[in-house]
Amino acid sequence: MPITRQTDRLDNPVTTGLAGTLDGVNAFIGGFLGYRTEAVDLLPAADADPDAALAQAYAAALHMFAEAHDATANATPYLARAEAAAKGATEREQLTVKAVGAWVRGDMPAAIRLHEETVARFPRDLVAAKLGQYHAFNLGDSPTMLRIIDRAAPHADEVAELHGMRAFALEQCHLIDEAEAEARTAVRLRRDEPWAHHAIAHVCLSRGRTDDGLAFMREMSETWVGLNSFMSTHNWWHLCLFLLDRDRIDEVFDIFDGRVWGVWKEYSQDQANAVSLLMRLELAGVDVGDRWADVATYLAPRTGDHVQPFLDLHYLYGLARAGRWAEAGALEGSLHAHAHAVPAFLKTVWGEVAVPAADGLLAHARGDWADAVRGLGRALPRMTEIGGSHAQRDLFEQVYLDALIRAGRLVPAQQMLELRRAATPDVPANLRALARVYGRLGLDTRSAALDARAEALSRRYRHG
């Protein structure tokens, strides 16, 4: 098959064998950077053009994003074709094939290194930047996320998605003002840039600007059309966090049932969003009905996945809360075994963070409050290492705080709650929890005042 060189939508050369391959590559680039469903349009183009190394590598990456036990098996044939075709490809494409190969083989540090090298040499390769950020994020390495995108920033300033990528990296590095400015730039360039919306949600959450975040995400939600299930459900999940802080529980349930859960129930990230939101509702004292049962139906096949510790912890708790103790116990045991079998660079995060966190979460679901405090207390100082964002990992602190209160560890609970109140002073659920703690500490006047404040705020939020 004759090999030709064409240029993708970001002006990077692409080696192809068929005229339609470039369309598939461009669909992947636009869909991947913008979290849009057209990313999968790459697959038929890749299937038709086995000699296009880049298309094959991108197709392997698409399968890896399933974050499931069969992802590697599904990606491997595409990787094999990419490696076979790489000798006729450009240096940039060869680097991409090597980086995706490292991912498929489980060598995330090598994948990050190769993607960062790609961006340093070919700074308009925003797919390499995004993939490098993805791996760094899953390892809890936000400075690397920022370093990678900083290399690209001067060379693709007109691309809205670049500013969204940079905004999130800045926010994860706690550079909040810079993050907001970068996200606003992205939205000015392209109003429907969902990763920038997501970054602004994080900024507002970090600053305690609940009303700003709620208004912004409401306004932008009309643009969340044609997104993949992760981006759509996750942005709606963020909107629900703001609603939950405003005691607007009926609205949270409406969004959960229609837009957070049920979009693609088999997908890992949708499952994590669902588990996380149900957990937060219960921690706020809300009865979630029979929703755990349906979620657990889709978690049950995950007991041996171990793609990321962040995901495993959500699967474990969801199974336990649904009363599926056999599967929850099987996942916990499998996780313990996996912690001994992982590559050296992952042993500490699985063995010293994921294992005690899993033990603590399962203890919490069982009502063993002292064990929950013990396990989560060991893990929390290093939870960054399991991946996930600040907002997502805050869930584990909330579970730990609940365990402290239920275990009668009221002094550290009071300290944590007052710090949370300082950051977000007008959240009724936090005020109610603090009122209960002060009541049990014999500080009745403070307890009554906090209860009254919580109820006044709740009425205001619910009735305008």
Per-residue pLDDT tens over the stretch 60-107: 999 999 999 999 999 999 999 999 999 999 999 999 999 999 999 999
Residue 80's contacts (CB-CB under 8 Å, 6 or more residues apart) are none
Per-residue pLDDT tens over the stretch 281-293: 999 999 999 999 9
Mean pLDDT in residue range 433-438: 98
Domain for residue 202, yes or no? Answer: no
Domain for residue 215, yes or no? Answer: no
- CB neighbours of residue 307 within 10 Å: 17
pLDDT grade, residue 322 (50/70/90)? very high
Backbone angles phi and psi of 14, in degrees to 5:
-130, 130
Spatial contact of 161 and 131, defined as CB atoms under 8 Å apart: no
* 15 secondary structure, DSSP code: E
Burial (0-12, 13-18, 19+ Cβ within 10 Å), 220: buried
Helix (H, G, I), strand (E, B) or coil at 227: strand
Distances from the Cα of 86 to the Cα of 97, 107, 254, 359, 394, angstroms: 7, 20, 49, 45, 43
The total number of structural domains that make up the chain: 1
Q: Would the pLDDT of 5 be above 90? A: no
**Residue closest to 335 by CA, chosen among 352, 318, 321, 323:** 352
Q: CA angle 412-413-416, nearest 5°?
A: 85
Residue 186's contacts (CB-CB under 8 Å, 6 or more residues apart) are 160, 161, 162, 163, 164, 167, 193, 195, 196, 199
The amino acid occupying position 147 is R
Domain for residue 77, yes or no? Answer: no
pLDDT grade, residue 310 (50/70/90)? very high
Contacts for 75-78 with beta carbons within 8 Å, 24 or more apart? 75/100, 75/104, 76/104, 78/46
**Residue closest to 179 by CA, chosen among 167, 191, 197:** 167
Domain for residue 93, yes or no? Answer: no
Per-residue pLDDT tens over the stretch 167-214: 999 999 999 999 999 999 999 999 999 999 999 999 999 999 999 999
Query: What span, in angstroms and rounded, lies between the C-alpha atoms of 302 and 213?
Result: 33
Helical pair 194-207 and 390-406, crossing angle rounded to 10 deg: 40
Mean pLDDT in residue range 44-58: 97
Per-residue pLDDT tens over the stretch 138-149: 999 999 999 999
Spatial contact of 310 and 392, defined as CB atoms under 8 Å apart: yes
Domain for residue 62, yes or no? Answer: no
Distances from the Cα of 317 to the Cα of 2, 323, 418, angstroms: 53, 10, 27
Residue 95's contacts (CB-CB under 8 Å, 6 or more residues apart) are 114, 115, 117, 118, 121, 128
**Residue closest to 165 by CA, chosen among 146, 144, 184:** 146
pLDDT grade, residue 17 (50/70/90)? confident
- CB neighbours of residue 356 within 10 Å: 18
Residues forming a β-bridge with 387: none
- Residue that has been written with the tokens 């899993």 in this structure: 358
pLDDT, the chain, mean: 97
Query: What span, in angstroms and rounded, lies between the C-alpha atoms of 365 and 375?
Result: 13
pLDDT grade, residue 463 (50/70/90)? confident
Q: CA angle 265-47-78, nearest 5°?
A: 75
Spatial contact of 28 and 46, defined as CB atoms under 8 Å apart: no
Helical pair 229-245 and 210-220, crossing angle rounded to 10 deg: 140
- Residue that has been written with the tokens 């997104």 in this structure: 227
Per-residue pLDDT tens over the stretch 232-289: 999 999 999 999 999 999 999 999 999 999 899 999 999 999 999 999 999 999 999 9
Contacts for 264-267 with beta carbons within 8 Å, 24 or more apart? 264/229, 264/233, 265/294, 265/298, 266/298, 267/66, 267/67, 267/229, 267/230
Q: What percent of the chain has pLDDT over 90?
A: 97
Domain for residue 433, yes or no? Answer: yes
Q: Which domain holds residue 431?
A: 408-463
The amino acid occupying position 58 is Y
pLDDT grade, residue 2 (50/70/90)? low
Domain for residue 147, yes or no? Answer: no
Q: Would the pLDDT of 395 be above 80? A: yes
The predicted structure's pLDDT at residue 1: 55
Worst-scoring range by mean pLDDT, 1-10, 291-300, 395-404? 1-10
* 37 secondary structure, DSSP code: G
Residues written for the chain: 464
Domain for residue 298, yes or no? Answer: no
The predicted structure's pLDDT at residue 4: 74
Residue 337's contacts (CB-CB under 8 Å, 6 or more residues apart) are none
pTM exceeds cut of 0.75: yes
pLDDT grade, residue 130 (50/70/90)? very high
State the chain's maximal CA–CA distance in angstroms: 82
